[in-house]
Amino acid sequence: MSAIVLKTHGMTHVGKVREANEDAMIVDPRWGLYAVLDGMGGAMAGDVASNRARDVIHEYVRAKKKTLEPRALLEAAITAASSAVHGEAQARRDRQGMGTTLVMALFVDDNKAWVAHVGDSRAYLLRDGRLTQLTRDHTVVAELMAQGALSPAEAENHAYKNVLSRNLGAKAEARPDLLELELVAGDRLMLCSDGLYGYASTDATSGAVAWWARRQAFLGAARERGLARSPICAVLSPDEAIDIVAGNLAEAIFHDLEKSTGVNVWTYAENLAHGWFDQGGAWAPLAEMLDLLVGAAHAVVVAIAHEDQALALLVETAVQRAFTTAEMAVGGVLAERLRVTEGELIKAHTLVQTSVDESARFQETPTIPFMPAARPVADLASPEVRAHLQAVAQAARGVVGTGRVPARNVIDAIERAALDPVNATGSAIQARELYGVRALEESGVSPLFDALDQGRAAFVTALRRAGGDPQIAVAVMRRVASAQLALAAALAGLVVEGAAPISERLREATRETASLRAEVASNEARLADLERQYATRAAKPSMLPRLPRKPGGPS
């Protein structure tokens, strides 16, 4: 195939509402690197987040492109950027909550590109006159839809359809989705932020402006209600408490209303909750603070209602949505922390059980003929085992090649679950990602288990080829087998779960049929009764022919 000639172009515009451009981009034909980043959150820190992430990614790719495989390069560059943005957000109070979305393309060959994305910035491919969206938005609603919890129609009308489930900077690590793309001559690849595909509506903009114009009223109401006395603001002066806690929220609501998203409030609430829980704070003060802020926002809505009822309704809806989003985000943080605690408990419990079983086994069952002297067992958590596991996973990806995407996904899932064996919910999440959206038929389910077999076989092949210390190898195999077992059971569980509503609907249908049958039988009986009565009325003696008298019968 002849080499494809690339023509590239990039453009960004601040728009008519904002003062600072929160989008950033990379257009670097020399390194084949193109990216769009859409910053958000914090006190005017969206542009800081997107610019910081852009610089880190650009530097990383320039430094490592020649030495790393594209997938590893992209994952490492994105993680480095996320870590940098997160670190900067944690270091400065006025930047807490900042983050950015990212969509990037890396051209690695004359006709091959890798696309990576985090958040709701998108990549589109125009080929043969047909525009295809290559990326799936990392929004809460999109993830629910992928799991089958929402239909496309429900998702389209969902109040939180733009709330991001992943972004770059909210946490130190990021989970990008990657895609390898074969290009042909004439292809056009477009990377863009939501500013291009989902610009704000007039209503949203006027609502945003109305809210922003009354920002000071909101801060005043929060002050009156005693925000500065909250234990969460204990280390801040009263003015700082108002500016940082209430001011950032006011700004987050403004940005969300302006762009019809919930991401800014989500990030704000997550950071607030993380910061508070990290200090050992309890749930109650956080809930009280949110209630207090809801009250302050409601006071603003009442003030707007005196001037313009329609506008007040618009702002009230946005405010309610913002606080629901905040509660969801705080709930997510709590759930995450509970999972970690649960994992630690399981680990502690397993350690206790193992020690009890070991002693009991060796004391009580000494007569099994092939019982050996204790064989040194490689520590499951040792860095050598982890490193070997990662190397084997990489080799297993090589065994399945680039064509069999489901098998590669299985290898990724097994690797993740094997590296984090105490996280009981990890396998369920991996299984959900693998399951995606599929028909509940043999043709939909079998490929899933075929991929599981292929992934496991690739792991075993790679493990045998890798050689090395047998103790390390067997420790890796134990982890892989355990992870694979959990994954297979979780996948089967998902199928069973998916089949359950069908049985339930059958039971409902059976009940309804029985009810209809009963009604028909009852009507039948009533009709028979009526017919009998009718026949009795109609058959008056004068109207009936006289029956012939039997000879010799009674007169």
- The site for other proteins (CB under 8 A) is made up of 357, 361, 365, 368-372, 375, 377, 440-442, 445-446, 448-449, 452-453, 456, 460, 463, 470-471, 473-474, 477-478, 480-482, 484-486, 488-489, 491-493, 495-496, 498-499, 502-503, 505-506, 509-510, 512-513, 516-517, 519-520, 523-524, 526-527, 530, 534
Phi, psi of 365 (to 5 degrees): -125, 60
Strand ranges (E), 87-173 = 99-107, 112-118, 122-127, 130-133
Closer of 302 and 520 to other proteins (Cβ): 520
Residue 19 vs 441, nearer CB to other proteins: 441
Q: Which of 307, 301, 309, 308 is nearest to 257 (CA)?
A: 301
> Residue type at 260?
S
**Least gap, CB of 542 to other proteins (angstroms):** 21
Residue type at position 63: A
SS3 166: coil
- We find the least distance from the C-beta atom of residue 195 to other proteins, in angstroms, to be 43
284 or 538, CB closer to other proteins? 538
The smaller minimum CB distance to other proteins, of residues 335 and 527, is found at 527
Q: Which residue has the tokens 């059971």?
A: 489
Neighbouring C-beta atoms of residue 125, cutoff 10 Å: 17
Q: Helices marked H in 401-469 — which ranges? A: 405-419, 426-435, 442-466
Confirm if 264 and 252 have CB atoms less than 8 A apart.
Answer: yes
Q: How far apart are CB 409 and other proteins at their closest, in Å?
A: 15
Query: C-beta of 151: minimal distance to other proteins in Å?
Result: 18
Short-list 294, 295, 288, CA closest to 232: 288
- Extract long-range pairs of 457-465: CB within 8 Å, 24+ residues apart: 458/396, 458/397, 458/399, 458/400, 458/407, 458/411, 459/392, 459/393, 459/396, 459/411, 459/414, 459/484, 461/396, 461/399, 462/392, 462/393, 462/395, 462/396, 462/398, 462/399, 463/392, 465/395
Least distance from other proteins to the Cβ atom of residue 407, Å: 13
Q: Which is nearer to other proteins, 376 or 545 (CB)?
A: 376
* H/E stretch holding 27: strand 23-28
* Tokens matching residue 468: 């090395």
Work out the end-to-end distance of the chain between its first and last CA atoms, rounded to an integer number of angstroms.
116
Q: Which is nearer to other proteins, 306 or 375 (CB)?
A: 375
Selection from 138, 50, 171, 26 nearest residue 100 by Cα: 50
Q: Measured from the CB of residue 341, what is the shortest distance to other proteins in angstroms? A: 23
- H helical segments located in 241-308: 247-259, 263-278, 283-307
Which residues, including other chains, have CB under 8 Å from residue 282's CB and lie 6 or more apart? none
Cβ atoms of 434 and 410 within 8 Å: the answer is: yes
Sequence-distant (≥ 6) Cβ neighbours of residue 238 within 8 angstroms: 223, 228
Residue 126 or residue 518: which is nearer to other proteins going by CB? 518
CB-based burial of residue 272 (10 Å sphere; 0-12 exposed, 13-18 middle, 19+ buried)?
A: buried
CB of 335 to other proteins, least distance (A): 23
Helix, strand, coil: what percent of the chain each, to 5? 65, 10, 30
The distance of closest approach from Cβ of residue 499 to other proteins in the complex, given in angstroms and rounded to an integer, is 4
In whole angstroms, the minimum distance from the beta carbon of 153 to other proteins comes to 22
Nearer to other proteins, 14 or 499 (CB): 499
In the bound complex, what is the minimum distance in angstroms from residue 315's beta carbon to other proteins? 47
Cβ-based nearer residue to other proteins, 393 or 463: 463
Nearer to other proteins, 229 or 464 (CB): 464
Measured from the CB of residue 401, what is the shortest distance to other proteins in angstroms? 21
157: three-class secondary structure by DSSP:
coil
Q: How far is the CB of 538 from other proteins (least distance, A)?
A: 11
Nearer to other proteins, 275 or 444 (CB): 444
Q: Give 304 or 418: the residue with its C-beta nearer to other proteins.
A: 418
Cβ(364)–Cβ(434) below 8 Å: no
